[in-house]
A and B are shown apart, each in its own frame.
Chain A
Amino acid sequence: MRYLPLTEADRRSMLAAIRASTVDDLFRDVPKAARLSGPIEGLPNHMGELEVERTLSAMAGKNLPAGSVPSFLGAGSYRHHIPATVDHLVQRGEFLTAYTPYQPEVSQGTLQVLFEFQTQVSLLTGMDVANASMYDGATACAEAVMMANRVTRRKKAILSGGLHPHYRDTTTTDARFIGFETVVMPAAPTGGEDLLSQIDGDTSCVVVQNPDVFGHVRDYTDLGKACQAKGVLLIVVVTEAMSLGLLTPPGEMGADIVAAEGQSLGNALNFGGPYVGLFAVKEKLVRQMPGRLCGQTVDADGRRGFVLTLSTREQHIRREKATSNICTNSGLCALAFSIHLSLLGEEGFTQLARLNHAKAVQLADKLAAVKGVEIVNDSFFNEFTVKLPKPAAAVVEQLAERRILAGVPASRLFAGELEELLIVAATETNTESDMDAFAKALAEVLS
């Protein structure tokens, strides 16, 4: 077996050194009734690379890769071009196969990456400090609410109807089991909502999204001011990190906490994971943050170096008094995010964001020309909602048969409701001919 270096001769000599006659002797503490006498039944025996590759390639072949057809899906997961350099560097074994940097002298690579990642996330979100990543945007959102509860010592979160339903549900699952309240506003695909009137003395935070799940671009500056006046924290969720290259960042709108999904930079679609949660706060909230933090310090020779820090918040030190139970984060996805952003730089990132917006504008114009299609949005970045004269899920199925991945039916996210709405995204990967093919096929399906 190719991954096991011990030879039979090694095993014999090692058993002799241990003074055991067989390896079974080493399992003598296992109750006899639970010991299996041979390989587990119902599973095949070992396979060579060729056979594994053949089997898994056959499974992969049953899927329709988004890049092989015109594809317009978004709703929290976006297909962007990833420069070749990103995956090449991510696969360096020194990054790929290292553990969490608990021994900083031999982990300066990972640690400097995290310090730079934290800086990049702070810059993008317009916040003071960011952590070293969370599992994904949805768990970052739920952690942000729990953090707000700790900070304000209140227990009620108000969740905007524009919040991605997966983020909403992740938060309400925690609410049910961890014991806090949520007020879930109804979905508002066309208009605004009155969040302020929901705030009362028990409210810890208001959670909004920008652009929201229907693609509307919002200005939360006034909401931020109102929240601040009431001692309520404003949590801004961003599911499309690319938008931060063009839109006013949440920090400038008065956000106290930003919970975002970083997948759009450096990370492939991967059928939904692994992704990378971004988590950024105002300076004064640092010590209430969940997750790992990397900080700058000096070594014994006075040279600049980096360590994990403020770990007295974390579970491995504080155990049941920790700010969160989180341990593993999304280190490698954070690295991919960071490398992509380093390649883009100021010029590339802002231009790419403008390009995404322009593509979406072009697509909106083409779809608006299709009979029976109505663009719902007054504003959008690279994603918007269209109203169809038929249930969107059926239209999407019919377009998939024509090898076009048309978007995400709102009903898939909203438990069967809003069935005429289709959420459509465009990125730099969509060509004009992709868009024409989409508009043409949509016209045919609707006619």
Chain B
Amino acid sequence: MSMNNQGRPTDIRSTTNSAVPDTVTGNRGLQIEEPLIFEQDASGRCGVDLPEVPAVASRLGAVKPRAKVGLPGLAEPQVVRHYTRLSQKNYAIDSGLYPLGSCTMKHNPRLNEKMARLPGFSDVHPLQPESTVQGALELMAELGRWLTTLTGMAAVTLAPAAGAHGEMCGIMAIRAAHEAKGDTGRTKILVPESAHGTNPATAAACGYAVEAIPATEDGRVDLEALKAKLGPDVAGLMLTNPNTCGLFERDIITIAEAVHAAGAYFYCDGANFNAIVGRVRPADLGIDVMHINLHKTFSTPHGGGGPGSGPVVFAESLAPFVPVPYVVQDKDGSFRLVEQAGDGPAFGRMKAFHGQMGMFVRALSYMMSHGADGLRQVANDAVLNANYVLASLKDVMTPSFDGPCMHECLFDDRFLKGTGVTTLDIAKALIDEGFHPMTMYFPLVVHGALLIEPTETESKAGLDQFITALRALAERAKSGDAEYFQAAPRLTPRRRLDETAAARKPILRWTPEAAAEKVAAE
């Protein structure tokens, strides 16, 4: 080993052993092991100071107060440390490229967080008198105006809580519209094979039979197969555009005409709106109804799995068939909420109160920041970034379809054939390189799918680093180093987790009994 004259090693290999050393604590530098909150309990300890409870006679009635809940006691510094340490075990868009296809993991501006926390938005009760919430109602109306303008649609509902909830709303509107015409013979919804799982799940939940539409060789809806299935028993088509292969449906206007000619409605899954926002208005494509994920295109944070928000826009044909509540503006300029469906075509409520207000503020803040010019640039850069990744990887990986792609590019696992390395292995090796993996094994229409959506908020330098890493992994896989991949990831807080064991004997909560058994065993 070479040393400098203070005795400090200068040979890099002697200081960074390739094997991760065992430590006494199990901690590994900045990766600190953190027990469950329940394992840090001390009776009588508390992280808040509350006033004395005034002595009053109980008015609980016949029910006796509960004896015990079983929550652990921690002081505030312990709680801060607990959640800080846990946060450090997460990858996030704030830390790096998060190229999950169809998820649109773009930068989440902090201005949006600040705006949502203005007391005039965050500290307002949903059932305050309307005279005291005119600004909140104005914000909802303004968000609705942006969404209908960007989509060219006639009406919008802000009620749905997430994308899948928006799908539900759209399919309900389609059903209500058919029923209003007395047309009850329509029992099917057509869904392409490449659709998100939520599409068939939504159609089935609404009582429709789901019929799959095959894809053509070039990754689009098979128009002839679609036409053959259209008929008086079809209520609607659910189509994602751009589709989940990252391709624009070239025949979309013909598709819409065929759907309408058959008396059905055209539902568009707007999950991929980011590719065309500001460049194409869905109404001009013949779409009747579409949900928009504010947590995708309009940058509201994903928060580790929610909350989302899924407004739905409607063309004239379906505009009367909206859920309550909705905001209307009276002649004097004041806003009010319509909260009861009444006897009209509007249908009932889909959740409590008025929608995901906190997300509305964030989305409007994002839209205003970009403006009409900036949103168009968003689509341009999102599509440019995806095509750049596609062009830079197509010689070492196997693109599923010819370009150009839209906001995401799809590869399959043909380039891994015979290597013993799978799509999953590539994803896990990418984690060791400091990237979140792309969407794996979706869409289902190609084998071993790798769907990459860089979004417009990545720099060219960031993309180049990702491309370099992925090229190197593809070449390493082909060189026959399968063991390297199968052991990945090595550098994460946890290595591959046993999902089979988790499902076979589910442990879904901590229990005092299990904790006691563990102590006894040790």
A133-145 interface mask toward B, CB cutoff 8 Å, 1 = contact, 0 = none?
A: 1011111000000
Contacts of A315 in B (CB 8 A): 164, 197-198, 200-201
Selected contact of A327 from candidates B142, B198, B427, CB within 8 Å:
B198
Stretch in contact with the other chain, from A56-64, A198-206, A227-235, A439-447: A56-64
With both chains docked as a complex, state the minimum distance between the C-beta of B373 and any C-beta of chain A, in angstroms.
Answer: 5
Q: A85-B76, A324-B201 are in contact. Are A343 and B48 (CB under 8 A)?
A: yes
Q: How far is the CA of A77 from the CA of B442 in the complex (A)?
A: 39
B329-355 interface mask toward A, CB cutoff 8 Å, 1 = contact, 0 = none?
A: 000000000011000000111111111
Q: Which of A7, A219, A345 has the most CB of B within 10 A?
A: A345
Contacts of A40 in B (CB 8 A): 149-150, 278, 281, 372, 375-376
Q: Are A67 and B123 in contact (CB under 8 A)?
A: yes
What are 9 A-B contacts with C-beta separation under 8 Å? A56-B365, A65-B123, A68-B119, A75-B127, A110-B305, A294-B508, A331-B305, A341-B71, A413-B127
With both chains docked as a complex, state the minimum distance between the C-beta of B40 and any C-beta of chain A, in angstroms.
Answer: 9
Selected contact of B62 from candidates A292, A335, A379, CB within 8 Å:
A379
Contacts of B203 in A (CB 8 A): 320
Q: Which of A78-137 contact B (CB under 8 A)?
A: 79, 83, 85, 87-89, 91-101, 103-110, 112-113, 115-116, 118-120, 122-124, 128-130, 132-133, 135-137
Q: How far is the CA of A298 from the CA of B257 in the complex (A)?
A: 53
Q: Are B498 and A18 in contact (CB under 8 A)?
A: no
Q: CB-nearest residue of chain A relative to B488?
A: A105
Q: How far is the CA of A330 from the CA of B301 in the complex (A)?
A: 11
Q: A96-B303, A107-B90, A115-B510 are in contact. Are A358 and B370 (CB under 8 A)?
A: no
Asked if A347 is at the interface of the complex by the 8 Å CB criterion, the answer is yes
Q: Which of B483-522 contact A (CB under 8 A)?
A: 487, 489, 492-499, 501-503, 506-511
Q: CB-nearest residue of chain B relative to A295?
A: B502
Contacts of A93 in B (CB 8 A): 92-95
Q: A63-B124, A164-B352, A345-B73 are in contact. Are A29 and B108 (CB under 8 A)?
A: no
Q: A247-B66, A248-B64 are in contact. Are A348 and B48 (CB under 8 A)?
A: yes
Q: A177-B175, A248-B63, A332-B303 are in contact. Are A35 and B279 (CB under 8 A)?
A: yes
Q: Are B164 and A11 in contact (CB under 8 A)?
A: no
Asked if B36 is at the interface of the complex by the 8 Å CB criterion, the answer is yes
Q: A1-B370, A43-B146, A269-B126 are in contact. Are A307 and B497 (CB under 8 A)?
A: yes
Q: Which of B145-168 contact A (CB under 8 A)?
A: 146, 149-150, 161-165, 167-168
Q: How far is the CA of A107 from the CA of B494 in the complex (A)?
A: 9
Q: How far is the CA of A95 from the CA of B304 in the complex (A)?
A: 6
Extra pairs beyond A108-B86, A300-B498 (14, CB < 8 Å)? A4-B377, A17-B392, A29-B248, A44-B372, A60-B118, A66-B123, A88-B80, A108-B493, A119-B510, A217-B60, A244-B66, A271-B121, A319-B210, A348-B48
Asked if B65 is at the interface of the complex by the 8 Å CB criterion, the answer is yes
Q: Are A299 and B92 in contact (CB under 8 A)?
A: no
With both chains docked as a complex, state the minimum distance between the C-beta of A83 and any C-beta of chain B, in angstroms.
Answer: 6
Q: Are A344 and B496 in contact (CB under 8 A)?
A: no
Q: Are B437 and A60 in contact (CB under 8 A)?
A: no
B303-327 interface mask toward A, CB cutoff 8 Å, 1 = contact, 0 = none?
A: 1111111000000000000010000
Q: Are B51 and A355 in contact (CB under 8 A)?
A: yes
Stretch in contact with the other chain, from B8-16, B259-267, B413-421, B454-462: B454-462
Q: A91-B113, A113-B304 are in contact. Are A104 and B66 (CB under 8 A)?
A: no
Q: Are A95 and B303 in contact (CB under 8 A)?
A: yes
Selected contact of A98 from candidates B83, B93, B437, CB within 8 Å:
B93
Q: A43-B149, A298-B498, A299-B498 are in contact. Are A105 and B431 (CB under 8 A)?
A: yes
Q: A64-B124, A274-B161, A309-B502 are in contact. Are A1 and B431 (CB under 8 A)?
A: no
Q: Are B431 and A106 in contact (CB under 8 A)?
A: yes
Contacts of B499 in A (CB 8 A): 104, 297, 307, 309
With both chains docked as a complex, state the minimum distance between the C-beta of A120 and any C-beta of chain B, in angstroms.
Answer: 7
Asked if A70 is at the interface of the complex by the 8 Å CB criterion, the answer is no
Contacts of B72 in A (CB 8 A): 342, 345-346
Q: CB-nearest residue of chain A relative to B365?
A: A52
Contacts of A224 in B (CB 8 A): none
Asked if B383 is at the interface of the complex by the 8 Å CB criterion, the answer is yes
Chain A to chain B: the 7 pairs with minimum beta-carbon distance, closest first? A379-B61, A272-B353, A60-B120, A332-B303, A62-B135, A272-B126, A93-B94
Selected contact of A100 from candidates B63, B305, B349, B365, CB within 8 Å:
B305
Contacts of B196 in A (CB 8 A): 316
B29-59 interface mask toward A, CB cutoff 8 Å, 1 = contact, 0 = none?
A: 0000010111001011111101101111111
Contacts of B396 in A (CB 8 A): none
Q: CB-nearest residue of chain B relative to A341?
A: B71
Q: Are B404 and A26 in contact (CB under 8 A)?
A: yes
Q: How far is the CA of A329 from the CA of B197 in the complex (A)?
A: 16
Q: Which of A215-258 contact B (CB under 8 A)?
A: 216-219, 244-249, 252
Asked if A45 is at the interface of the complex by the 8 Å CB criterion, the answer is yes
Q: CB-nearest residue of chain A relative to B432?
A: A105
Asked if B410 is at the interface of the complex by the 8 Å CB criterion, the answer is no
With both chains docked as a complex, state the minimum distance between the C-beta of A396 and any C-beta of chain B, in angstroms.
Answer: 6
Q: Are A106 and B123 in contact (CB under 8 A)?
A: no
With both chains docked as a complex, state the minimum distance between the C-beta of B205 and any C-beta of chain A, in angstroms.
Answer: 5
Q: Are A358 and B135 in contact (CB under 8 A)?
A: no
Q: A60-B121, A105-B428, A324-B201 are in contact. Are A17 and B90 (CB under 8 A)?
A: no
Q: Are A110 and B71 in contact (CB under 8 A)?
A: no
A31-54 interface mask toward B, CB cutoff 8 Å, 1 = contact, 0 = none?
A: 101111011111111110101110
Q: A56-B365, A347-B44, A351-B50 are in contact. Are A245 and B69 (CB under 8 A)?
A: yes
Q: Are A298 and B497 in contact (CB under 8 A)?
A: yes
Asked if A428 is at the interface of the complex by the 8 Å CB criterion, the answer is yes
With both chains docked as a complex, state the minimum distance between the C-beta of A31 and any C-beta of chain B, in angstroms.
Answer: 5
Q: A34-B285, A170-B351 are in contact. Are A342 and B119 (CB under 8 A)?
A: no
Asked if A362 is at the interface of the complex by the 8 Å CB criterion, the answer is yes
With both chains docked as a complex, state the minimum distance between the C-beta of A427 and any C-beta of chain B, in angstroms.
Answer: 12
Q: Are A362 and B132 in contact (CB under 8 A)?
A: no
Contacts of B142 in A (CB 8 A): 59
Asked if B204 is at the interface of the complex by the 8 Å CB criterion, the answer is yes
Q: How far is the CA of A196 from the CA of B377 in the complex (A)?
A: 61
Asked if A371 is at the interface of the complex by the 8 Å CB criterion, the answer is no
Q: Which of A303-328 contact B (CB under 8 A)?
A: 303, 305-307, 309-312, 314-322, 324-328
Q: Which of A134-191 contact B (CB under 8 A)?
A: 135-139, 164, 166-167, 169-170, 172-173, 176-179
Q: Are A269 and B124 in contact (CB under 8 A)?
A: yes
Q: Are B280 and A408 in contact (CB under 8 A)?
A: no
Contacts of B295 in A (CB 8 A): 328
